[in-house]
Amino acid sequence: MLNDMNDKKDSIRNRNYKKNKKDEERNIRKYSNDNINVVNNMKDIYNNNNNNINKSVIDCGNNLKRIEGKKVLKEINLVNL
């Protein structure tokens, strides 16, 4: 009788241990996935910022080329007058 009770307790402990272990593993996977998502989002934000900065630099360069081109044309026109 006593052995039966101990066996039941052991089986319940074992079942609870397995359940808790699975819950822990599930939580670890969940938090790992959450962390991976956060890191990926940060990478996307960083890449978008870099792309925007690069586009801005290119736009500024193009604007400078256009302005310099206009200045050169004005100077040529002034010389021809």
Number of domains the chain is built from: 1
d(CA 29, CA 35): 10
Would you state the pLDDT for residue 4? Answer: 66
d(CA 29, CA 23): 10
Would you state the pLDDT for residue 59? Answer: 81
Residue numbers of the domain that contains 17: 1-81
Predicted confidence (pLDDT) per residue in 47-77, tens digit: 888 888 878 877 887 888 887 777 776 766 7
Q: Can you give the pTM of this predicted structure?
A: 0.43
CA dist list (Å): 22 to 5, 25, 32, 65:
25, 5, 15, 64
Would you state the pLDDT for residue 15? Answer: 81
